Amino acid sequence: SAQAKLDHNRPLLGRLPTIAATMVINPHKLGVHKLLKHIPLNALFDAPSKARLRKAVNIADLRLCAKQRAHKMVFDYLDAGADDEISLRRGKDAYSELEMHFHILSGLKPPLDLSTKIFGQDVKLPFFGCPTAGNRMFHWEGETAAAKAAQHHGTLYGLSSLATTGIAEIGQLTDGPKVFQLYVWKDRELVKDVLAKAKEGGFHAMALTVDFTWYGNRERDIRNDFSIPPKYSVNQMIEAIRKPAWTYDFLSHEAYTYACINTEVPADSLAAFVNSQIAPEFDWRDAEWLLGEWNAPSAVKGVCRPDDAIRAVETGFTTMWVSNHGARQLETSPATIDVLPSIREAVGPDVEIILDGGVQRGTDICKALALGADSVGVGKPYLYGLAAGGTEGVIKAYDILKVELDRAMGLLGTGTVDELKKRGPGLIKKRNGSARDYPDRYAYERGYGGGVI
């Protein structure tokens, strides 16, 4: 009977979603992108995203724009931190606890001079986009959008060694200062090869990331079954249907690869790749070898202790990069703005310091410069812009932060970055936190007012 057949096949029917997922063929291997690139529907799908982007007034707005456009798996990868995301929240809260005690009648008028030097190179802004992995997963323009924005604003550009755009292509997009970020790979020949390419591509400095010897426990990624490229599971395909602008971008362009390492190898699971290639045993002696291979301005990225900063200077690094990897690695690692003054005190006034972590406002950048940073890296703010609208979104993120920083410095009574750094410690004071500093019950939907990081 029909019922008997149904009962007989019920186990099979229960497994249909899994079977369907395993039977799905990768559309890039079928060449779907070669067909879709001749059907220019991107503008149609992106029209709502561009409308939202035009209305954004702060980084929190850009975050919500990104959330509405990007695949959930991709947005959560960008937005998340490690474990319970305690460090992620504290990174923002730490800035809320810093008051700005301003001077009056300073005789300043906008726009102020925001120029400074980073890695010894002249820049027009004291902040820049941190090198971040896999930018093309957020928007098809990927790293090229961030490079164009850096060129537009006259600031430093940072390229990750896990980028989805090649070194040579970036070199053609910006003639400004560039830093190449490097992980501690097991294969020294791979290290030599990418360093040689970076020098040839006009990169002025190298940043060694040292807080990534284990892959952080990012539980949003685990729940979303995050992978690069997507696994085409039923859940991921349903989410792709919900985000047509992101999906059409993805399907109508070439599959992305780790372009700085091997363009012939498709991008695999980021966690699996890192676990197979990262060298946890990398130590100070290996760092000395690396500096000998580079022999140019160099930063150690991931410093949060004064004693490590002192040893890094003794080892030969020219720049201390105070960072906790965006609170994505060791849970309950300190807020970087909290440890910045002690690191400045340890290394003295002449060693360059870059800080990143928790920055969502121009006032945050102002506070970091006042408390000892020579420049500030931002990650999530410009990636929100990228996910929300490509080059236009990254430029807007920089525009927002530039205007906010200019206003903060003017109201504080400091007309230049140098003046801010000299007078800063007397202008910024820490207060005890209060319930009024932190989000209310509706703040998450708003992006925490000033931005959930």
Give the integer Cα–Cα distance in Å for 185 and 121. Answer: 28
What are the distances in angstroms from CA 444 to CA 115, 217, 218, 346, 447?
35, 22, 19, 38, 5
Tell me how crowded residue 107 is: count the other CB atoms within 10 A of its CB.
6
Pick the catalytic residue: 71, 139, 153, 325? Answer: 325
The conformation of residue 99, written as its DSSP 8-state character, comes to E
Indicate if 325 belongs to the active site.
Answer: yes
Query: How far is residue 299's CA from residue 351's CA, in Å, rounded to a whole number?
Result: 11
Q: Which two tokens stand for residue 93?
A: 């809260």
Q: CB-based contacts of 190: which residues, under 8 Å, 6+ apart?
A: 261, 277
DSSP 254: P
Selection from 239, 251, 212, 70 nearest residue 131 by Cα: 212
Would strands 157-160 and 205-209 be described as parallel, antiparallel, or unpaired? unpaired
Q: How far apart are CA 242 and CA 252, in angstroms?
A: 17
C-alpha span between 64 and 53 (Å, rounded): 10
Using CB atoms within 10 A of its CB, is residue 25 exposed (0-12), middle (13-18) or buried (19+)?
A: exposed
Residues annotated as part of the active site? 325
